[in-house]
Amino acid sequence: MSALPKSAIIAVVGAGTMGAGIAQVAAAAGHRVLLFDARADAAARAVEGIGAALGKLMERGKMTAAEKDALVARISPCARLEEFASAALTVEAVVEDLEAKRRLFTQLESIVGADAILATNTSSLSVTAIGAPLKRPERLVGMHFFNPVPLMALVEVVSGLATGAAVAQAVFDTAAAWGKSPVHAKSTPGFIVNRVARPYYGEALRLLSEGAADFATLDALMREAGGFRMGPFELMDLIGHDVNFAVTSSVHAAYFNDPRFTPSLLQQELVAAGRLGRKTGRGFYDYAQGATNPQPWTAPSTPAPREVAVNGPLGPAEGLLDLIRDMKIPLRERGRDNGQGYLTVNRTQICLSDGRSATERAATGHHSNLVVFDLALDYGKATRIALAPADQCNDAGRQSAIGLFQALGMKVSLLDDVPGLPVMRTVCMLANEGADAVNQGVCDAAAVDTAMQKGVNYPRGPLAWADAIGLDIVHQVLRNLFRAYGEDRYRPSPLLRRKVHAGTRFLG
């Protein structure tokens, strides 16, 4: 099979936000679309809503009136499922309930033609389980879109145990023909995105619960150093804590309580209090009119260093040296070929996080004045950085580190000394989860990165990011976190370890 031709009729069951979005995308690709909803007049109202949304695009010059009218005309509200008899592809977007979906597909199977494809937009249920009662489960496939459907590029094409390879490829090719970025995935809990994304929330919640920093500071660091569009607490408030907590709990239970997916007691408390985020007016942030929310903690201005020394290679932080040179700060280079490097300012060692606390590194290295700094997506573009001084470090040592990064154009947020620091440990955990998804045959490495960039707007695919950091460094960070916490949560993926030993990469 290949992509369905434009002459193929697409049917959509469910005229809510997702169903209407899927109908709009299929119609925009030139298909005639049939739209059904069990609620009276819901399908007709959805078509009106699509027309109104397209009208706004027309007002902005994004499409002509003729294009808008033609697209809307291709979508026909249906009163009965029996009108789907001629559909080549039927996509359901109904309530996320296993039995409801099973009943629907059993009914659809008796209506559509023998060669028709059945697709479920489920975000969390097993495609295998949904298709189990069908006479021909091989023609059922997951077609998981992301909200808002017309804007989000990702489609997870999810194969259950019985899904035919040709069926999955036809849906993949069709999604691509609709202008989407499809990826193949095996039906496992969370598929790709909802599984791999768990550490983005989980590590932030853990750092907050350990008192590393307040939520506004952690959000700012993930945006301004990590390059993410939204910080984890902002994003959880947007998603809704009830939804986010339920997804985490579901994935945790589905993986037989794997500690990597352990839900947060902090988030559980928010849900219990009814502070669900934007939709209730209060989550981590207060959304009431006139409410005052905390600002990220920023260190006061500190004098720039007169000189900086670099000792050994800085790995992913080498970009700092260009910034130092650009700022005309004298730079002395010592022994650049050996060991894990660090910067020195006024006898203070300033080191990239390796998963250990600064206090541990100061003790084992017998150097009291030691400060750890965080990873950045691009040090040349980062506007904020996290620093953590060792408990042994004196005030002069802290000020030396702060002054250096301020001189390089970054705001500095001083964190309590926790292992890893926010961006480094989060990126390493995202990469580790992506590696395990590949190792367990859920998808390939390219699919992980496409899914996380196109589905949740990550600034870089986690596996490409791990390659850029250096897989040996990622592995070291995870091992140090594993040792610091004594928890299986931080165990390195077998595939990551294998690639470190082989000296290979995930991509290219």
pLDDT computed for residue 1 by the predictor = 61
Instruction: Choose the catalytic residue: 92, 156, 203, 224.
Output: 156
Which has the closest alpha carbon to 149: 22, 15, 14?
22
Residue 319 structure tokens: 């970009």
pLDDT computed for residue 338 by the predictor = 62
Beta-carbon-side half-sphere exposure of residue 470 (alpha carbons within 13 Å): 13
CA 486 to chain centre: 26
pLDDT band at 334 (very low <50, low <70, confident <90, very high): confident
Helices 241-254 and 232-239: crossing angle in degrees, nearest 10, is 100
- Contacts for 484 with CB less than 8 Å, ≥ 6 apart: 355, 356, 357, 360, 419, 420
Token pair 């299929």 is at which residue? 26
Residue 31 appears among annotated catalytic residues? no
pTM over 0.85: yes
pLDDT band at 340 (very low <50, low <70, confident <90, very high): confident
Q: Helix (H) and strand (E) counts for the chain?
A: 20, 15
Residue 501 appears among annotated catalytic residues? no
Distance CA 353, CA 95 (A): 44
Phi/psi of residue 245, each to 5°? -65, -40
Q: What is the 3-state secondary structure (H, E, C) of 237-286?
A: HHHCHHHHHHHHHHHHHHCCCCHHHCCCHHHHHHHHHCCCEHHHCECCCE
pLDDT computed for residue 339 by the predictor = 66
The amino acid sitting at 361 is R
Give start and end residues of each alpha helix (H) in 210-240: 215-224, 232-239
Instruction: Choose the catalytic residue: 121, 194, 244, 493.
Output: 194
Token pair 């020195």 is at which residue? 344
Instruction: Choose the catalytic residue: 123, 126, 357, 400.
Output: 123
Cα dihedral across residues 212, 217, 219, 224: positive or negative: negative
Residue 144 appears among annotated catalytic residues? yes
Distance CA 73, CA 71 (A): 5
Mean pLDDT calculated for residue range 93-105: 96
Distance CA 25, CA 392 (A): 59
Largest CA distance in the chain: 79
Q: Where do the domains of the chain lie, and which CATH numbers do they carry? A: 10-187 (3.40.50.720), 195-280 (1.10.1040.50), 308-414 (3.30.750.190)
User: Chain-wide mean pLDDT for the chain?
Assistant: 96
Strands 117-120 and 89-92: parallel
What percentage of the chain carries pLDDT values higher than 90?
97
Residue 335 pLDDT exceeds 80? no
Residue 226 pLDDT exceeds 70? yes
pLDDT band at 336 (very low <50, low <70, confident <90, very high): low
Helices 232-239 and 198-209: crossing angle in degrees, nearest 10, is 110
Which has the closest alpha carbon to 297: 421, 425, 412?
412
Instruction: Choose the catalytic residue: 76, 126, 144, 224.
Output: 144
pLDDT computed for residue 151 by the predictor = 95
Q: What is the pLDDT of residues 439-468, one digit of tens each?
A: 999 999 999 999 999 999 999 999 999 999
Residue 194 appears among annotated catalytic residues? yes
Q: What is the pLDDT of residues 417-437, one digit of tens each?
A: 999 999 999 999 999 999 999
CA 366 to chain centre: 39
Do residues 84 and 36 touch, judged by C-beta distance below 8 A? yes
Which has the closest alpha carbon to 134: 112, 102, 111?
102
